Structure 1
Amino acid sequence: MTSDTTARMLRLLSLLQTRREWAGLDLAGRLGVTVRTVRRDIDRLREMGYPVDSARGHGGGYRLASGTDLPPLLLDDEEAVAIAVALRTAAGGLTGIEETALRALAKLEQVLPRRLRGQVAALQGSVTGITWEDRGPRTDPALLAALAVACRDHEILTFDYTTRPGATSARRVEPCHLVASGSLWYLLAHDVDKGDWRVFRLDRISAPTPTGHRVPPRPVPGEDPASFVARRLSAAPTRYRAVATVHASADHVRAHTRGLATRIRPTADDACLVDASDDSLTRVAQTLAALGDADYTLDADPQVLRHLRDTAHRTLRATGEREGSLRPPDRSIPGRAGGRAPGG
């Protein structure tokens, strides 16, 4: 097989992976060859193990199908970086597949271009996850990569930051770490102008600009970056207040929930407080639902109670239950989930 033929077949394979189905004429036009040449190249791909289905008709139609074996895949730069980072994360933190992830990672990094290895190392080395949960505001991958590189290189960065009330200000920071918490991404950095540590939401950052000025690494005071960010987030003001008194030990709640470590405060051997406060009513409900079978009483804002009741009524209607079956709990019985907020 000549080098021209090999290059054309790789291009053909790449095209087949980007669309569900291709007409033979379209493929021929993209590749600058005849339909007959496309047919021959398709046959070669089949001989190599790629399951390519074809349809009869003028020009024919082709699509990659699922087969019995996994053939080689073609990845663009962004896909290769994303997969490498995911494999590194799996190798270090997902029980049961560490060895498999390492084998796959070794195969990928063996052929990964040098220009991409730096991006993978920067992104992986700068990212810490508290927990991955529901989807939230989307983070620009280019922004994430730029911040990861700044964290890796300890390069002072400037950007515009929009605060919760909506005011925008210019910031100059020493980036330290990227942290994923729930549905959001955060940058932990030392604010040069304020002389203190700050946590920035990535969806509020715009116009990041490297300064070219690098500084020595600055250690996070007293704890790892993820714990530092989690503590700052738990102390930050929220729009909706919701605190559950859970009739189970703090260790039991920690063992059955994700991402709530800094929100749990033991009050007795068999009880604890869980702060479910948030800017989102939906996330408040999700945090409470994560408590599972543990009974609790709730001290919450009226908007939270209304949202929880409305959600419960919709659930009852969806399951065919009568709404009248949703009765207020007997307040003489302590520990019943959904109890009335004191003073509410």
Structure 2
Amino acid sequence: MPSTSDAARLRRLDLLSSRLKADEPMAIGALAAEFGVSRRTLTRDIALLRERGLPVDADRGRGGGVRVTSTWGVGRLTLDYREAVDLLVSLAVAEQTRSPILMANLAPIRRKLMASFSAANRGRINQLKARLLIGGQASAAVMSNYRAPRTRVVEALHEAFLTMRVAQITYSDGAGSKTERHIEPQYLLLNYPVWYVLAYDPGRQAVRTFRCDRLLAVQPLDDHFKLRAVDDFRIGLEGADIIVP
């Protein structure tokens, strides 16, 4: 297993590769500041990307602009684990909406993404579409206090959801009270643009619903859970200001 510093550098190299593919040249100093490293470290990173076959052009003179040569094609796309998870969830949402414009090329993309996961996880991924529920538009009352969920929280939630692992969460309710608990993120429900987690709470032995924008922290744990019937959660939502399909 790579060390923390090695893992951080690998992620930085992936991000740097993406930034260099922009149309305009970027100054070495600005890129170094963006990634929180020295100019010398960034120069070594660029040299390593060149060794890997990425054709990086450098503009001479003050500022040292760099970019990928304009004749370079897209080629192979590299995603880290969480990026692949987020993209799979996004594809499943697109499939659930059954848009004729989007449906044409989703299947081969999904198959390629699935190939990057272990055999143990592929069975869970195959259940993904059935675990995503697309409801109606969020009500005005819900939207009055809605704000976009935190990116890192969403990434961790997607990971726990996709791999069917128990998650430790910190949640803030409508009154602002914070609680910590362990949940099984069984289903995700979209009342556009608001996402909900339909979960089973083993500690309380009951189904619970959590608004994703009120999740303050999510940590996937090692324990896996089994999928429960979606009707258990529909019953739990009766009378709530939530629209289920």
Give the TM-score taking structure 1 as reference length. Answer: 0.44
- Given the superposition, is the C-alpha separation of residues 64 and 190 from structure 1 closer, same or farther in structure 2, using an over 3 Å criterion? same
Q: What residue is the counterpart of 2:241 in the other structure?
A: 233
Q: What residue is the counterpart of 2:7 in the other structure?
A: none
1: distance between equivalents of 2:222 and 2:44? 46
Q: What residue is the counterpart of 1:121 in the other structure?
A: 125
Alignment of 1:242-257 (within 5 A): none
For the aligned residues, what is the CA RMSD? 5.1
The CA deviation at 1:97 is 3.0
Alignment of 1:106-185 (within 5 A): 106-110=111-115, 112-114=116-118, 121=125, 124=128, 126-130=131-135, 136-139=147-150, 140-145=153-158, 147-148=160-161, 152=164, 155=166, 159-169=169-179, 175-185=185-195
The CA deviation at 1:141 is 2.1
C-alpha distance after superposition, 1:210-250 (max 9, x if no partner)? 594856734424xx85x97596225xxxxxxxxxxxxxxxx
Aligned partner (choices 103, 112, 124) of residue 108 of structure 2: 103
Q: What residue is the counterpart of 2:6 in the other structure?
A: none
- Given the superposition, is the C-alpha separation of residues 120 and 75 from structure 1 closer, same or farther in structure 2, using an over 3 Å criterion? farther
Alignment of 1:178-217 (within 5 A): 178-190=188-200, 197-206=207-216, 212=223, 214=225, 217=228
1:83 aligns with 2:87: yes
2: distance between equivalents of 1:59 and 1:71? 29
Q: Aligned AA for 1:114?
A: S
2: distance between equivalents of 1:168 and 1:58? 52
The CA deviation at 1:76 is 2.8
For structure 1, the residue ranges without an aligned partner over 5 or more in a row are 1-10, 47-51, 235-258, 263-344
- Given the superposition, is the C-alpha separation of residues 65 and 80 from structure 1 closer, same or farther in structure 2, using an over 3 Å criterion? farther
Identical aligned residues as a percent: 21
C-alpha distance after superposition, 1:103-127 (max 9, x if no partner)? 22333433x1539956982994543
Q: What residue is the counterpart of 2:231 in the other structure?
A: 220
For residue 213 of structure 2, give the secondary structure of its aligned residue in structure 1. Answer: helix
2: distance between equivalents of 1:201 and 1:119? 27
For structure 2, the residue ranges without an aligned partner over 5 or more in a row are 1-11, 33-37
For residue 61 of structure 2, give the secondary structure of its aligned residue in structure 1. Answer: coil
The structure with the largest alpha-carbon Rg is 1
> What is the number of equivalent residue pairs in this alignment?
212
For residue 17 of structure 1, give the secondary structure of its aligned residue in structure 2. Answer: helix
Alignment of 1:3-22 (within 5 A): 15-18=16-19, 21=26
Q: Aligned AA for 1:145?
A: H
C-alpha distance after superposition, 1:54-89 (max 9, x if no partner)? 423269532136669533333333223222332343
Q: Aligned AA for 1:233?
A: D
Q: Is the 2:169–2:180 contact (alpha carbons within 8 Å) kept by the matching residues of 1? A: yes
Q: What residue is the counterpart of 1:241 in the other structure?
A: none
Q: Aligned AA for 1:189?
A: A
2: distance between equivalents of 1:69 and 1:216? 42
Q: Aligned AA for 1:79?
A: E
